Structure formats: C-alpha cells, structure tokens
A and B are shown apart, each in its own frame.
Chain A
Amino acid sequence: MAQPMGFFTDTTVCIGCKACEVACKEWNQLPATNGGVNTLSGDSYDNTRQLDGTHWRHVRFVEQFTPERTDGRWLLMSDVCKHCVHAGCMEVCPTGAIIRTEFDTVVIQSDTCNGCRDCIGACPFGVIGINPVSNTAQKCTLCYDRLQNGLEPACAKACPTDSINFGPIAELKTLAAKRVGTLHERGEKGAYLYGADDKMLGGLNSFYLLVDRPEVYGLPPDPKMPSRNLVKGGVWAAFGAVVVGLLGLFSFRNRGRD
C-alpha cells in the first residue's frame, strides 16, 4: 500500500480565487452550471454555497463585519471531502460502492452506487450529493486517477497561494504544525488545526488550519460516526418489540381462556 496521502488546507492564505473549484470541475468533467442555469447567491461572492454531487470543491466566504461596516475581515476556506480515517459514508454504504484506496482516501465507485443516498445523511460534514448526470452519489475522489499516475490532485495543482497543500499525511502534519507555530509567533493566537490528530474520526486526511471556531466555517465542532446509535437504537427497538409482544401475548392468550 502506498503511504496515506491527503490535503492540508491553510485557510489563512486562501484569497478566494476559486481556481481550485474550476480545476476540479474541469478535470472531473463536472457541469459548471446547474442544468445550464447560472444561479447566483445574491448576497455573497460565494455562489457555489455548498459541496454536493457536482461541487467537489467549495470556497466558503465568511464575511465578518461590524454592523456599521467600519471594521471586518474575510475568512476564506476551500472546503472538500475530509477523506476520514473512520468514514461514516463508507460505514453505512449498503452496496460496497464506497471504498478505501491504497492512498487511504475514500472513493465512491459510480458504477456500483445505486443512489440510495444513505451516505449523504451519514457524512458528518455534508459533502456528498447526487450527481444528476449519473443519478449516483458523488464527491471528491482526491483525484484518484491522477494519484494513480503520480500526479497531484487538480485543485492543489491550481492553487496559486499554496493554501491547498497535497502530500503524504505525515509530512503535511509537520508542515501544518510549523505553520501554526509561525502564526502564533506573529500574533495570530487563534490559529489551530482542525482534524489533524486522530481524535476526530480517527483523523481527517484532509485537515485545516482555522482561526475561528469550526462552526464559523460551517464545520461541525464534534463530528461523530453514524454507528454510535446502532447498539443503543437496536436495544431500545428490541425492548419495544418485547413489550409489544408481551402485550399481544397477554391480550390474545387471555381471550383464548374465555
């Protein structure tokens, strides 16, 4: 197996150019418009709005301004599938369409997926959506085809500021820790890494440097595996079945003795 590969996205150097979004769409042949109709958000430079089946990269624009707009800042983050080490989507997928590759990335095989959409609700980050062309669930593949041919993913290749760093996870973690240290030295004390250690879903193979709370970037503060409810939910349902069964037994057996 090749070594685990992934992304380290340093949001502090993202300039919101969306070159990553364009490169992703171009390489993966994803439609640029929604069925030929351009939809504008109307209240932001962010017209992509979310990750889904046709948007595998999304540059989020967080606008933090005072009410009188005399002071403020932009937080920009190029978001993508997190390629979780413990992947909720892969856990629930009933067809086996979602696989872990030799690069420790998570890929949906479009020829196996039957569009049940269980993975969409199971993903803790909401990155998966139905692609209307294939009618199957799709998301970032971390350019599996490019990786197999020794190329870096299209988004990382296109990023002009190196906000998106691609490489072996171990190297990315070293780079990220160094960058956090530099930012702290320069006075940006709020800088921290999101998903770099294995406490979050065993580690995110796409992790981030953030300077505000995760929620501000639309990221869950405490993402969890879907299976956390499996045993609890099953035991309670079985308890319900036992109660209903006993009530039935009591009702019908009583009548039988009449």
Chain B
Amino acid sequence: MAPSSTFFTASPQWHWTIITYFFIGGLAGGCYVLAVLIDLFGRLVDRPLARLGYGVAFPAIVLSGLLLMLDLGRPERFWHMLIESHTFRPMLKSYSPMSFGSWILLAFGGFALLSVLAALAEAGRIRWTWPLRLRAPGPLGTLVSLVGGLLGFFVTGYTGVLLAVTNRPIWSDSPLLGLTFVISAASSSAALLILLAHRRYRTPGLAALERFDMMVLALEPIAIIALIVSLGSVARVWLSVWGLLLLLVVVLGILVPLALQWRSAGVDTRPAVTAALLVLIGGLVLRTVIVLSADAARVVWRV
C-alpha cells in the first residue's frame, strides 16, 4: 500500500534544466547574500571578495532565467509568468511559489545588476562613477544591499518551497525542503567563493568565509536528517540507489570537506580547494536526488 496520497500523482518531468537551475540559482542568491554580509560587516580589505560575490550572482541569475525559459514547453511564452496574456495586466499569485518566484527572480536580477555595476565601477572596469553609490556604506548602497540580500535569500530557498507546494512524493511529504536548500545554497556559495578567491584574495574575509562554510556544513547533515525524519514512512523511497547517493552527499559532500577544512585552517590551501570542490558537487547531487527520486518513488514502492 502506498504510504501517501502523493503516490497517485503524475510527474511534471522536471529534469536536468531544473536541477541545474536549482543549483545555479542557489549559487546566485547565496553568493549575493555573502557579498552583502561582507560589505556590511567585513573590512575594507575584503571588498574585492564581495565584488567577486556580485560578479558570480549576476551572470548566475541571468543563466538561471535562461534555463527556466528553456525548460518551458513554449519558451516564447515565458512572459506569461509576469503578464496575463489576454488582459496584459500583471500576473501575480502570492500563494503560488512559481508565480511569486518569477517576480522575485526578476527583482533579484535587477538588484544583482545594480550591485555588479557598483562592483565593476569600484574595480575600475567601467568608467561610470554613479554606480559607486549603489554599494554599502552609504544610505542608498545599504538599502540596495539589504533589499537585494533579502531577495537573494528568497532565491536560495523558494525552490524547495515550490517543490513542497505540489502533490508529488517526497517533495510535498515534508515542509523542510526550503530549509535544506537554503543551507545547501549557503555552503555551496561559500565553497564557490573560496574556490575562486583562494589564489587572489588571501584576506581576513577569506578565512571568515572558510569558518562560515564549516559552520554551515556542520548544520547541513542536521537539516538532511530532519528532512528524512519528517518524511516518515515515505523516506523508505530512499532505501534505493537514491539513498546511497544521499549518503555519498553527506559523507563526501559534507563530512569529508568539513574535516579537510578543519585540518587546513588557513596555511595550506590545497585541502580547502578539494573541500570546496566536493561541497559544490555535493550541492548539485543533493538537488538531483531530491528532484529525481520523486519520479522513482512509485517504482521503488511498486505501487
């Protein structure tokens, strides 16, 4: 007997474009949030590290939008997400994560553009000086950082809530997917920035980033265990190759990198680089397991 009424539903066939979007979108939101935290609380010497965060966030969110369009059955109708196609009025449903998320992605894309312009101006890559005001400190810059940071947090986690607001096995059998995605996006984003920054910016901010990643990595297994517990008997779907992959994520994508970062602690960068690579791969595989194992649920359960 099926453990949940979710086992009687059909698959939306969200596969690689969506999994890649979940990963890249998480990095976009996460890197932006980290850049904001560095801008607001870090030292002046760490500003290049924050610039790197904005430099990742903007192209990543553009790529996210393209992936989402590509995944549509009718990509040329992507704008129907924002504008009602018969009345040309704004289309927004606050209770539909996909509808709400479309607007947030658009808004976040705008803030990521402002911040990357500010970063480019500060680095002297563009001649304009007006974008300098768009970054903290300064009232306008602080406002951009705060609003953009909140939108960035939303981008990291709403995808998990979107999966939960369906009727599919696993996805809607737990309320904890959004939480898991937020934590995973934070660890992956910190890992990506460590990977990109470890040669160029050996500043106190990089050490802070490594400490932050260790703390978030320590939280991640707790979130995954809570997710498994919250699934109840549905978690038996993961007594399969999917569970094995999840175990590999926890061991190779979380615990091993944690141990490597603990050991390296600043001097030798090689273990930190390996750790960052493992965390990134783990983040991608975690999303793969969550997205694809829903489709496998009926087969595993033999409904």
Q: Give chain A's interface residues, CB within 8 Å of chain B.
A: 50-52, 88, 91-97, 111-118, 120-130, 134-137, 215, 218-224, 226-230, 232-241, 243-245, 247-249, 251-256, 258
| B113 interface contact, C-beta 8 A | no
C-alpha spacing A91/B43, complex, angstroms: 47
B33 and A114 contacting across the interface, CB-CB below 8 Å: no
User: Chain B 56-100, CB within 8 Å of chain A: the 1/0 string?
Assistant: 000000000000000111110110110011100001010111110
- Count of chain B residues near A, Cβ 8 A: 76
Q: Which A residue sits closest to B211, measured CB to CB?
A: A251
A-B contact pairs, 9 of them (CB 8 A): A92-B97, A114-B74, A114-B78, A117-B73, A126-B10, A226-B172, A237-B179, A240-B183, A247-B186
Q: Which B residue sits closest to A127, measured CB to CB?
A: B10
| Given A114-B73, A252-B37, A254-B208, also A94-B179 (CB < 8 A) | no
C-alpha spacing A219/B7, complex, angstroms: 10
* Chain B residues closer than 8 Å to A124, beta-carbon distance: 5, 8-9, 167
C-alpha spacing A239/B219, complex, angstroms: 13
* Chain A residues closer than 8 Å to B162, beta-carbon distance: 118
B98 and A94 contacting across the interface, CB-CB below 8 Å: yes
A255 and B175 contacting across the interface, CB-CB below 8 Å: no
Q: How many inter-chain residue pairs (CB < 8 Å) link A and B?
A: 234
C-alpha spacing A139/B153, complex, angstroms: 36
* Chain A residues closer than 8 Å to B124, beta-carbon distance: none
Closest CB of chain A to B233's CB: distance in Å? 14
User: Chain B 5-20, CB within 8 Å of chain A: the 1/0 string?
Assistant: 1111111111000000
Closest CB of chain B to A77's CB: distance in Å? 14
Q: Which A residue sits closest to B185, measured CB to CB?
A: A244
* Chain A residues closer than 8 Å to B205, beta-carbon distance: 252, 255
* Chain B residues closer than 8 Å to A229, beta-carbon distance: 161, 164-165, 172, 175
C-alpha spacing A222/B8, complex, angstroms: 10
| B267 interface contact, C-beta 8 A | no
A-B interface, 4 closest residue pairs, ranked by CB to CB distance from nearest: A115-B73, A237-B178, A126-B10, A220-B5
| Given A114-B78, A114-B80, A121-B12, also A248-B212 (CB < 8 A) | yes
For the complex with contacts A233-B176, A237-B178, 4 further pairs of A-B residues with Cβ separation under 8 Å are: A94-B98, A220-B6, A240-B180, A240-B183
